[in-house]
Amino acid sequence: MSDAGTRTALVTGASRGIGRAIALGLAREGFDLVLNDIERQKDQLDTVRTEIEAIGRRAVTLFADVSDAGAVQAMVSHAIDATGRIDAVVNNAGILIPGTVEALPERHWDAVMDVNAKGTFLVVQALLPHMRARGYGRIVNIASIGGKHGAPEQAHYSASKAAVMGFTRVLAQEVGAQGITANCICPGIIVTDMGRTNLEDPVVAERWISNTALRRLGQPEDVVGPVCFLASDASAFVTGQTLNVDGGIVLS
């Protein structure tokens, strides 16, 4: 169990979309928040902080590009100094730059792998000494059903999310004895700035809906409950798992 007192969660990419919804959901569950995003998102991140304060919880904003090791280390140090404890981390920051394998510039491959896969690793690596010292941690990595099946023009994105899943399975084995769990969430098609990339063509959008058992697209709030579960003590005996939150596209 986490020690008594207010739990704190760090959410990366928290200024909009799924990250914002997760941060607000964790606040409603009683967490204080450390909100991360890139500097460009300052105004939106400040708005999320205000929304969390209106719920009655504390929120600290820290800017860092999760693919920059030095910036991540500084962010995690500041987060621990500011809050005294990080009980849970949600590695949500991610990017998608569509392109076919044949035409994909190397820099797009690198950018997507750097943010989605390396960013997750860097944040976890920076946090582990703190979590190990406390003998407690909840690590929730946002992968994607795209990492299991994927769609054309997203080979690099699919590879990055498959990397997050593989990373999480091994991480769970390395840190379990220290009271730390590590799990993945795989969202389906969620209506956000990124999700709309999959929905520009109405025919494709309709196909996604008809391929979904619940016959609808997801909203950011649909991802919140499963993340809160994996960030809480209710999931104490769940680790190394990947949970699809997709309305029933990938059935397992």
Ligand X SMILES: NC(=O)c1ccc[n+]([C@@H]2O[C@H](COP(=O)([O-])OP(=O)(O)OC[C@H]3O[C@@H](n4cnc5c(N)ncnc54)[C@H](O)[C@@H]3O)[C@@H](O)[C@H]2O)c1
Q: Which of 66, 76, 140, 172 touches ligand X by CB under 6 A?
A: 66
By CB under 6 A, tell whether 24 contacts ligand X: no
Tokens 């949600």 belong to 90
Candidates 75-83, 192-200, 206-214, 235-243 — which segment interacts with ligand X by CB under 6 A?
A: 192-200
Using the minimum distance from each CB to ligand X, give the nearer residue, 8 or 67.
Answer: 67
- Burial, 252: exposed, middle or buried (Cβ in 10 Å; 0-12, 13-18, 19+)? exposed
Q: By C-alpha distance, which of 128, 118, 123, 248 is closest to 188?
A: 248
Binding mask 111-140 for ligand X (x = CB under 6 A): ----x---x---------------------
Whether the CB-CB separation of 179 and 133 falls below 8 Å is answered with no
In the region spanning residues 73 to 102, those forming contacts with ligand X, defined by CB under 6 A, are 92-95
By CB under 6 A, tell whether 154 contacts ligand X: no
Q: By C-alpha distance, which of 121, 19, 122 is closest to 61?
A: 19
By CB under 6 A, tell whether 38 contacts ligand X: yes
What span, in angstroms and rounded, lies between the C-alpha atoms of 196 and 133? 41
Q: Which amino acid is at 70?
A: G
Candidates 54-62, 169-177, 186-194, 206-214 — which segment interacts with ligand X by CB under 6 A?
A: 186-194
Task: Give the shortest CB-126-to-ligand X separation in angstroms.
Answer: 13
Using the minimum distance from each CB to ligand X, give the nearer residue, 136 or 208.
Answer: 208
What span, in angstroms and rounded, lies between the C-alpha atoms of 48 and 54? 10
Q: How far is CA 246 from CA 91, 155, 187, 188, 215, in A?
A: 18, 19, 5, 4, 11
Whether the CB-CB separation of 148 and 162 falls below 8 Å is answered with yes
- Catalytic residue chosen out of the listed positions 109, 121, 136, 157: 157
Active-site residue 157, yes or no? yes
Residues involved in catalysis: 157
What is the binding site for ligand X (CB under 6 A)?
A: 12-13, 15-19, 36-38, 41, 65-67, 92-95, 115, 119, 142, 144, 146, 187, 189-190, 192-195
